[in-house]
Amino acid sequence: MINGKPHSVEAPDTMPLLWALRDLLDFNGTKYGCGKGLCGACTVHVNGEAVRSCVTPISSLQNKEITTIEGADGNTLLKTVQEAWYDEDVPQCGYCQSGQIMNAAAFLSKNKNPDDDAINTAMNGNLCRCGTYVRVRRAIKKAAEKINGEQGSEN
Amino acid sequence: MERRNFFRITSLAGGGLLLGTYLPFSCTTVDESIVDWEPNFFIRIGSDNTITFICSQSELGQGTSTGLAMVAADELGVSMDKLKLEFGPGSSERYGYLQDTGGSNGLRMVWQSLREAMATTRGILVQAAAQKWNVAPEECYCEDGHIHRKDLNEKLPFGAVLDIASTLQAPREIQLKEPSEFKYIGKPVKGVKTKWATAGTTPYSINTKLPDMVYAAIERCPVWGGELVSFDGSKALEIPGVVDVMEVEPTELQQEDYRGGVRPGVAVLATSTWAAFEGKKALEIQWEMGKNGLKSNDDIRKELEADYQTKSEVVANLYDAEKLFPRGRKYISGTYDSPFQVNACMEPLNATAYHQGHKLEIWAGTQAPQLTRERIAELTGLPEAAIKVNNQPSGGGFGRRFFCDYVEEAVILSEKLRKPVKVTWSREDTFLTSKYHPLCKDYWEAALDANNFPVSIRYRGSINRPGAYRCYPYSIPFMSHSYLKYKEGRLLPRASWRSVFAHPWGLGMECFMDELAHNAGKDPLQFRLEVLKNAEIQEQKQWPWVGSDLYPKKLHNTLELVKEKSSWGRLRTNGIFQGVSAMCYNGSYCSMVADISVREGKIQVHKFTAVIDCGLAINPSQVKGQIEGSIMWGLTALLKTPITVKEGVVQESNYDSYDLLRMQEAPDVEVHIVETQDTPSGTGEVGVPGVAPAVLNAIFAATGKRIRQLPVTEELLMV
């Protein structure tokens, strides 16, 4: 399942999810950065957990729920993070930002009220050559505020 | 949907960019109901009111597409939300020779022409509406994509007057908007590229997919100057998805080194990128490594040192420095070392080419779409008119994408196959077999008077003609010698790297200024103010694309401001110390102060305060973003492992061995922008070269240690 819809591919078992998404299924939002799980540009969610798709073979994903950056519709948390990213004008070249956003969303699903240290630790594996870190930090705080605000108003 | 086009020729007032360009009539009609009007090469207006800004310059994340769109929106009278974004193909016929984007020139090169083109377009639309309403043009104005009537509460969308507009002459006189009328310019605005990036929909060239397209990866010679002896592709061909293996013949590096320099290689052609990468790993190749196969980066450094011992001539002599230098009572010197670096753009280099024999189409994120088109014409023998370069937004460029070797590779393969071929570099390729920021060694010396005040400065280093770029702002007499040379050829081919020559230049100049200040018993910030105060304006005589005249007063002003904003000189607690730097680059000025602490050989950068004068700041959010990013870039060069070479082979192969600055290490950044209405200049690079010296000068303040080399290691701090 990718973004709530079933998909199947014909490919060798060892093919990483990244390349199945990009070359076979046309989900181009997920990016190739390093191929070794070092930079975080390829981050997606598998059953809600942030996973590096460049080192995740497709054989390990049968009947799993995969969410990519394209899956924000119907995923309130992901949508909120994207909006915060937009509001804070985070991206420069934007290439690492799908991975940054996916990682931040998975992090916020576990830590609803993070401080700077927690954000720094959680995002430390997502590299950005343009150097947008200051704004990534701001955007995560903004998204957290928004999430907490919305939950507060429901209570 | 195919749309019908009707074009017209618009001449611009003031000798604008589009003067003398002629548009063909195009009649590829399908949907008769929608008609496009393209009065110039920056804008397309549809009868359905679709308004598309066609960005001539490259977007690499620096935000030029948004900045220029804001200029277009303001001058034309359109809402930014309604403005669609496209990128113009590489074309000197369309954009003169001003399209290639480098040296922080994106906005600087076209902003005036763009304003004039949009004001002209607005003038035509107003005339058309006036004709339709049968009123005087003075009774009409443009706003929000509509022409409004002043006397009545009536308006027409642009699309409703195209039939008349397309028949009109451009007005003889155009009226540019007054700054007070700007709705977007000067405000933090988010553009189309921000929307794309947050949704993951940016059309990077790495996403290119065409019918019948072949995915290619290339194993290149690991040593620059080496040759292919033989290869065996049989194991690669056993990998599922691999369809062919073939040689890639090298292209010679040209005098203008943006062109050529494709390494000898072996290409694996496959049905997916991954299969091509897997096939590449299975290749068996014999290389002849050549002379560079015996060399390491230390050998290169020694060659520069040896050249320093030889005679050389003075090529720049400001304020009679040459005559004054021998008159010093004392002399001090500093030698600054900066290593090879790589751009490491997050989007690996890639390009797609489709050579059909008589014509050729390219899809690539490139900083130099015109140069690329010219070069590919030269390479293939096709006329430029038969070559279309679709320029796409890049996942980082930083100078590397000004060099078109990666496009040449796709063309070479597609010429053989006569199919669309996408060449994607693996991450390892982008580290091991790319082009690099050169290793530099720079010698700074000063003659001092009896009070230890410098009376003349001498520079002899690796930078070619620094004087030509107008990058020395101070009033202390200064001379520069011809640049240091290697014994034979380069160990690694050169690429531009964010701020290019200014990085080693800034390292030397701004650290040395600090040394001079301390030596004279002066506060380093105050000292700089003193030697900027009476410095003369330096005229920019060469290469207008590198910027305008140098105004020391502007730099002085940024220093005054950063002094205030950083609370310079006030007593600090918690072991925090400050360092300062001031840089001018291609018409922009930036002073910065670093707050750091050093504990047990570990340096922590707490905060940067920066002040920039970039002329009129079109989009303050993006200006600040560029300085924030420049600081992270500079800190990576200062603190992380650079590119090293052993026996001709680069040792850093991925982000584990060539680490970038990370979130935990990112300092707080405060950017202040000087308010001015001066012509906008660039912001992508001026923030980079001052970073290392500001921190190194702060390290001196904290520890008394003068570090004159990059990177700063624990070892250096503990000595």
Assess whether the region B3-199 and the region B297-340+436-718 belong to the same CATH fold.
yes
Where in chain B are the domains?
3-199, 205-291+349-424, 297-340+436-718
pLDDT value of residue A14: 95
User: Does residue B33 have a pLDDT over 80?
Assistant: no
CA–CA distances in Å: residue B104 to residues B57, B143, B328, B498, B592 = 11, 31, 38, 9, 19
Q: What ipTM was assigned to the predicted interfaces of this complex?
A: 0.97
- The verdict on residue A46 lying in a domain is yes
- Give the number of beta-carbon pairs within 8 Å between A and B: 181
Name every chain A residue with its beta carbon within 8 A of the beta carbon of B622.
Answer: 89
**A123 has a chain B CB within 8 A of its CB:** yes
Q: Based on the domain organization, do A44 and A90 belong to the same domain?
A: no
Q: Based on the domain organization, do A102 and A65 belong to the same domain?
A: no
Q: Based on the domain organization, do A137 and A82 belong to the same domain?
A: yes
Q: Based on the domain organization, do A58 and A132 belong to the same domain?
A: no
As for how many domains chain A has, the answer is: 2
Give start and end residues of each alpha helix (H) in B494-619: 502-519, 524-533, 552-565
Q: What token pair was written down for B647?
A: 């026996």
At residue B148 the predicted structure's pLDDT band, cuts being 50, 70 and 90, is very high
Q: Based on the domain organization, do A62 and A80 belong to the same domain?
A: no
Closest CB from A15, A82, A96 relative to B199: A82
Beta strands in A39-142 (DSSP E): 43-46, 49-52, 66-67
Q: Based on the domain organization, do A79 and A44 belong to the same domain?
A: no
pLDDT tens digits, B347-402: 999 999 999 999 999 999 999 999 999 999 999 999 999 999 999 999 999 999 99
Name every chain A residue with its beta carbon within 8 A of the beta carbon of B426.
Answer: 35
Q: Based on the domain organization, do A81 and A118 belong to the same domain?
A: yes
Q: Based on the domain organization, do A28 and A60 belong to the same domain?
A: yes
- The verdict on residue A113 lying in a domain is yes
- Which residue type occupies A100? Q
CATH number at residue A147: 1.10.150.120
What is the CATH T-level fold of the domain B297-340+436-718, as seen in this structure? Aldehyde Oxidoreductase; domain 4 (3.30.365)
CATH number given to B3-199: 3.30.365.10
pLDDT tens digits, B253-308: 999 999 999 999 999 999 999 999 999 999 999 999 999 999 999 999 999 999 99
* Last residue of one domain, picked from the residues A33, A55, A70: A70
Q: What token pair was written down for B60?
A: 């690499």
CA–CA distances in Å: residue B299 to residues B306, B486, B491 = 10, 10, 9
pLDDT value of residue B548: 81
- The verdict on residue A37 lying in a domain is yes
Q: How far apart are CA B372 and CA B351, in angstroms?
A: 12
**A78 has a chain B CB within 8 A of its CB:** no
Q: Does the distance separating the beta carbons of B188 and A31 come in below 8 Å? A: no
- The verdict on residue A4 lying in a domain is no
Q: Does the distance separating the beta carbons of A41 and B346 come in below 8 Å? A: yes
- The verdict on residue A12 lying in a domain is no
Q: Based on the domain organization, do A105 and A132 belong to the same domain?
A: yes
Residues 6+ apart with CB under 8 A from B688: B498, B499, B502, B503, B506, B630, B633, B634
**B133 has a chain A CB within 8 A of its CB:** no
Q: What token pair was written down for B39?
A: 């009065």
Contacts of B27-30 spanning 24+ positions with Cβ under 8 A: B28/B2, B28/B4, B29/B2, B29/B4, B30/B1, B30/B2, B30/B3, B30/B4
Q: Does the distance separating the beta carbons of B633 and A94 come in below 8 Å? A: no
pLDDT value of residue B34: 77
Q: Based on the domain organization, do A102 and A139 belong to the same domain?
A: yes
The label of the residue with tokens 């200006």 reads B623
Q: Based on the domain organization, do A123 and A52 belong to the same domain?
A: no
Q: Does the distance separating the beta carbons of B348 and A69 come in below 8 Å? A: no
Give the DSSP per-residue string, B627-656: HHHHHHHHHHHHHS--B-EETTEE---STT
Name every chain B residue with its beta carbon within 8 A of the beta carbon of A85.
Answer: 197-198
In this structure, of A77-81, B100-104, B596-600, the range with the lowest mean pLDDT score is: B100-104
Asked if residues B233 and B283 have their Cβ atoms less than 8 Å apart, the reply is yes
- The verdict on residue A24 lying in a domain is yes
> For testing the chain B interface, which of A25, A45, A89, A121 should be mutated: the one with the most B CBs within 10 Å?
A89
- Average pLDDT over chain B reads 93
Q: Does the distance separating the beta carbons of A94 and B193 come in below 8 Å? A: yes
* Structural domain boundaries, residue A150: 72-154
Tell me if residue B241 falls in helix, strand or coil: coil
User: Does residue B19 have a pLDDT over 70?
Assistant: no
pLDDT tens digits, B436-473: 999 999 999 999 999 999 999 999 999 877 666 788 99
User: Does residue A55 have a pLDDT over 60?
Assistant: yes
What is the CATH T-level fold of the domain B205-291+349-424, as seen in this structure? Aldehyde Oxidoreductase; domain 4 (3.30.365)
Q: Based on the domain organization, do A77 and A150 belong to the same domain?
A: yes
pLDDT value of residue B96: 85
Q: What token pair was written down for B382?
A: 């096709």
CA distance A85 to chain B (A): 6
